[in-house]
């Protein structure tokens, strides 16, 4: 059985592009939430439904996961069930050793890229501070702590839409993205 997994990051986004990319699936699983966690209902349903000989198809590697660790865990689960993985954009098929190796390398490169971006950002801020051009958070920004912080992390982890989170906390969407970046930097969320 061919199981096609599609994912977009928010409820406003459409899965049309992914659905048009492949029409050979026996069943389609679609999530509308972040790829930063592997706790996604349709992903888990697909993994639970897998049988030996099945093939999981995704349009691109980031639809499966944005975390190297989670990606490798998902691939391991697929392999343990005796199923294969096909990534359309990269023409990768894990049914052979080369495809499996290539997938591991790509996941590691993605993680390295994210770490490099964070490092460059920190360096840029440090340079700006030495020149007196960076004064930190803009006035009026709300700091998250206590119950509000835990509630925010729960909503984020569930893949709640950023606009809905902003309404819940009575802040702008850019503030939500700042909170996400800060919490990721502190290692409190992925």
Q: The domain 137-190: what is its CATH number?
A: 1.10.10
Q: Tell me what pLDDT residue 88 has.
A: 93
Q: Tell me what pLDDT residue 33 has.
A: 86
Q: Which CATH architecture has domain 2-107?
A: 3-Layer(aba) Sandwich (3.40)
Cα angle 176, 179, 185 (rounded to 5 degrees) comes to 145
CA-to-CA distance for 136 and 138, rounded, in angstroms?
Answer: 6
The contacts of residue 9 (CB under 8 Å, 6+ apart) are 32, 33, 34, 35, 159
Q: What is the pLDDT of residues 18-48, one digit of tens each?
A: 999 899 999 999 998 888 788 899 999 999 9
Band the pLDDT of 95: cuts 50, 70, 90.
Answer: confident
- Has this prediction a pTM greater than 0.85? no
CA-to-CA distance for 156 and 36, rounded, in angstroms?
Answer: 10
User: Residue 84 in 3-state DSSP?
Assistant: strand
CA-to-CA distance for 47 and 50, rounded, in angstroms?
Answer: 5
Q: Tell me what pLDDT residue 28 has.
A: 96
More confident residue, 137 or 84: 84
The contacts of residue 161 (CB under 8 Å, 6+ apart) are 10, 11, 12
Which residues are 56's β-sheet partners?
3, 85
Q: Work out the average pLDDT over 64-83.
A: 85
Cα angle 62, 110, 116 (rounded to 5 degrees) comes to 140
Band the pLDDT of 2: cuts 50, 70, 90.
Answer: very high
Share of the chain above pLDDT 70, in %: 93
From the candidates 9, 10, 67, 163, give the one annotated as an active-site residue. 9
Band the pLDDT of 138: cuts 50, 70, 90.
Answer: low
Nearest CA-CA partner of 166 in 178, 175, 156, 153: 175
Between the CA of residue 19 and those of 5, 110, 159, 183, what are the distances in Å? 9, 24, 21, 33
Q: Does the annotation mark 52 as catalytic? A: no
Do the domains at 2-107 and 137-190 have one common CATH topology?
no
CA-to-CA distance for 56 and 113, rounded, in angstroms?
Answer: 26
Cα angle 84, 87, 88 (rounded to 5 degrees) comes to 130
Cα angle 184, 29, 71 (rounded to 5 degrees) comes to 40
Per-residue pLDDT at 140 exceeds 70: no
Q: What is the mean pLDDT of the chain?
A: 84
Band the pLDDT of 49: cuts 50, 70, 90.
Answer: very high
Per-residue pLDDT at 136 exceeds 70: no
What are the extents of the domains in the chain? 2-107, 137-190
């Amino acid at each position: 059985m061919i199981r096609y997994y599609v994912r977009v990051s928010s409820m406003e986004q459409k899965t049309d592009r992914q659905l048009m990319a492949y029409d050979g699936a026996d069943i389609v699983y679609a999530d509308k939430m972040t790829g930063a966690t592997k706790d996604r209902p349709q992903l888990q349903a697909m993994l639970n439904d897998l049988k030996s000989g099945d093939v999981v198809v995704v349009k691109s590697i980031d639809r499966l996961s944005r975390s190297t660790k989670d990606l490798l865990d998902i691939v391991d689960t697929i392999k343990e069930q005796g199923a294969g993985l096909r990534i359309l954009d990269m023409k990768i098929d894990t049914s052979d050793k080369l495809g499996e190796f290539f997938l591991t390398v790509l996941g590691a490169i993605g993680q390295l890229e994210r770490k490099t971006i964070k490092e460059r950002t920190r360096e840029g801020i440090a340079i700006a501070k030495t020149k007196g051009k960076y004064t930190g958070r803009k006035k009026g920004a709300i700091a998250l702590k206590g119950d509000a912080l835990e509630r925010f992390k729960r909503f984020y982890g569930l893949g709640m839409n950023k606009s809905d989170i902003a309404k819940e906390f009575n802040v702008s969407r850019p503030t939500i993205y700042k909170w996400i970046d800060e919490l990721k930097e502190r290692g409190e969320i992925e």
